[in-house]
Structures are given as structure tokens and as C-alpha cells.
Structure 1
Amino acid sequence: MSRLVKTLRTEEELKNKLKSPEKLVVLEFVKPGNQVCVYVQPEREKIAEDLKEKADFFELDVDEFKKYAEKLQVEALPAFVVMQNFVKKRHVVGTDDLKKAIDEVHATFGRKTQDETAPKDPAERKTQDESAPKDPEPEQTTPGSGSVQRPEPSSRENTTVKQLHEVDNNTKFSHLVTNGKNRKIRIYKLEQDDGTIIGEANLKIYITKYYKGLFANRSIIILR
């Protein structure tokens, strides 16, 4: 049993934890026995330790909390959902972007959004709109009033502008092709029978354990 990541068993427990006014709540949806969920546990524990002053971590069996998993749009495991006062703020799969997501939400923790501070009464909102400063309307000028009117661009000028746009678009396309040739192919997801492994850190953990198990019990044969 983890010291920092507690397992929730009932819906009542979940609702009580989501009431936390002082910290964010991180819900991890897992499936018991799923190898991908097991692989990310060490990194999850480290993040929970580093961010214990900002968030409380809870583990939920996706089958026991199926209603909440569907409501929070959990489609891949392990899924981490960052909650604030019953509101979903972030949703990440795996631990690669988990710490960053929590830090971003915590940076705005406790602040009221513009919608929350906006007046609820339509009459009050209308009064604010009328009192708000407005951009000055452009002055209308007439021929002969001493103002200088800008002539309409000629057909030659229009053709030149069109050609410049075409050259600019072609240059952008050339840059895209050049950059595409220099890009490296990176593996960021591996689908297994018992789940999907997402993220560079999780892939490293899985591949290391796989090859250790593959060669651990094999005897060495020396040919002479």
C-alpha cells in the first residue's frame, strides 16, 4: 500500500475527497493486474512525493468506478485526471506530462475565472457594457474637404501583391519539406494485449524489464 497514493473503494469516499478546498485532487484510473499500470507506479510515487503540498493522489479501479471513468472520458490506462472542486482541469495518460499538468493547474489554483466574476444580472452587465470605453469611430471625409483620398490599387499592383503571396506560400512549403526530411522517427506508444504503453519514460521502463526477464534465467554456454 502506497503511503501517498490512497485507494478509494466507494463513491462516498470519492465525493468526500473531491471536496478538498486546500489541494488539487489527482485521480488515477487503473485496472488491477494491468502491466502498464504496474510499470508507472515508481514514477507516480515520485511525483506524488514531489507534489504532496499541491495535490492529493488517489487510485481508482476503473471497473468499480466505471460511471466516473465514462463521465471523465477515460479511454486509455493509466489515466490521471486532475480535479479542482469537482471540476476536471487536466487529463493525461501515463506519467510523462503528469507533473507539468499539476503545476499548470496549481498556478491558477484559487483564482476566479472571468465567468465567475462577471455580473449575473443581465441589467448590471448591460450597464457595465455601456460604461465601458469604446473605440473612437473613424471620421468620414468627403471630396473637396481638404483630405487626401487614397487611390484604388491598379491591376498591376494587384498582380504584384498576388505574386508575392504565391512566393511566400511556396517558401513555407519548401521549409516544411526540408524540415520533414530532417525529422527523426520516434516511438511514443506501444500497444500490448493488456494495455497501451504511452510516453518515453514508460517505454524505457517496459523495455528494460522485458529484456531483463528475457535473459535473466538463461545459462551461458562457452564454445571451445
Structure 2
Amino acid sequence: MEAPSITVKSVADGPQLKEIMKNAAEDGGNKLLVLEFMAPWSEPCKYMSKVLDGNPAGRGLAYDLRGYADFYALDITKFRQFAQRMTVEALPTFLLLTKGYTVLARVVGVDKEELRSSIMQEHRDKAAAGAGQEKVNPEQDIDEPLSLFSSPYAFLRARLRSFFN
């Protein structure tokens, strides 16, 4: 059995994620929040878990970037609606957020150098970021059910209704 990660923290449920985001916003720090949407059965996610966690001493990418970002893993089976709201279409997907919930970047896949460079770039640029970018509303986005687009045909039905009305 693998030792638990000390650098990537698993998020159990919506209330815990809300608390993490609230605490991050209140602490006023300059680190990014990195949310990793993953699945325990996904081979690419397993690979990135090893890249982030590194060896048993915890010397992976998350350890190397600990001064720049806090890493959290979200199991897609527990955060399905939140993943849909954030338009997660492939696993693993990493969202880089400011403490003010602005999504600065999205990294999809297993390219650790792309993830590293995105974190470093966004950490440098985040002071100028924010205008016109996607925001996460922890009070609404995490737990609220998807009403309009909860099925593959809901969008089409809504468009047809608006066309005929």
C-alpha cells in the first residue's frame, strides 16, 4: 500500500472543498490553488499521482512547487457536477486558481513540464490577472445540481425551446 501524500491532499466532499477555498481566500497568501480532477481507476491519473507525489520521501513535483501552489486531488466520482461546471472533459485536468477563485489556467493530461511551467507562469502573472476570467463560486458551483445541462440533450432542448418561443 502506498504511503499517503504529504504534498497533494485528497478532498473528501463539497463542504471540505468549500472550507479549503474559504481558508485559502482568507489567508491572503500568494500561493495558487491547484485542483486536480482525477479518478483512481485512470492510468494517466495514477501516473500523475506518482509525478506529483514522487518517491516515498515526498520529493515529487508538488513538493518542488510547495512554495508556489497548494495541491488538492478531487475524485471525479465524488465531484461529478463540479467537474461538469468546470468543463472537465478529460482526466487528469488541473485547474490553477487564485485565492480569489479566479481560474487562471487549465492543464489537461500528463505533461509534468507543462504543469510546472503553467504554475510558475501564473504565479508570476497572477497580480495582473482576474479581469474577464472564469471564476469559481464555492457556494454555488460545488454542490448545486446542474439544472439546464444535466443531460446530453438538455442543451439542445433549451435551444429548440428558445427558437420556437
**TM-score normalised per structure 1:** 0.48
Q: 1:40 to 1:16 in 2, by over 3 A?
A: same
**What are the superposed Cα offsets for residues 115-165 of structure 1, whole Å, 9 maximum, x if unpaired?**
8xxxxxxxxxxxxxxxxxxxxxxxxxxxxxxxxxxxxxxxxxxxxxxxxxx
CA drift at 1:113: 5.5
Contact 2:8 2:71 in 1 (8 A): yes
Paired residue type of 1:24 = L
Alpha-carbon distance in structure 2 between the residues aligned to 1:113 and 1:88: 8
- Residue among 22, 34, 39 paired with 1:31: 39
RMSD: 1.8
The within-5 A match list for 1:50-89 is 50-84=64-98, 85-89=100-104
Q: 1:114 to 1:94 in 2, by over 3 A?
A: closer
Paired residue type of 1:101 = S
Paired residue type of 2:16 = E
Contact 2:39 2:75 in 1 (8 A): yes
- Residue among 31, 39, 43 paired with 2:51: 43
Alpha-carbon distance in structure 2 between the residues aligned to 1:47 and 1:95: 12
Alpha-carbon distance in structure 1 between the residues aligned to 2:71 and 2:62: 7
CA drift at 1:2: 0.5
| Corresponding residue of 2:115 | 98
**What are the superposed Cα offsets for residues 165-217 of structure 1, whole Å, 9 maximum, x if unpaired?**
xxxxxxxxxxxxxxxxxxxxxxxxxxxxxxxxxxxxxxxxxxxxxxxxxxxxx
Indicate the SS of the match to 2:81: helix
Contact 2:102 2:130 in 1 (8 A): no
| Corresponding residue of 1:155 | none
CA drift at 1:33: 1.8
Q: Which has the higher contact order (CA 8 A, sep 6+)?
A: 2
| Corresponding residue of 2:148 | none
| Corresponding residue of 1:5 | 8
From the CA coordinates, give the structure whose radius of gyration is larger. Answer: 1
Aligned length: 115
CA drift at 1:105: 0.9
- Structure 2 regions of 5+ residues with no counterpart? 54-59, 133-165
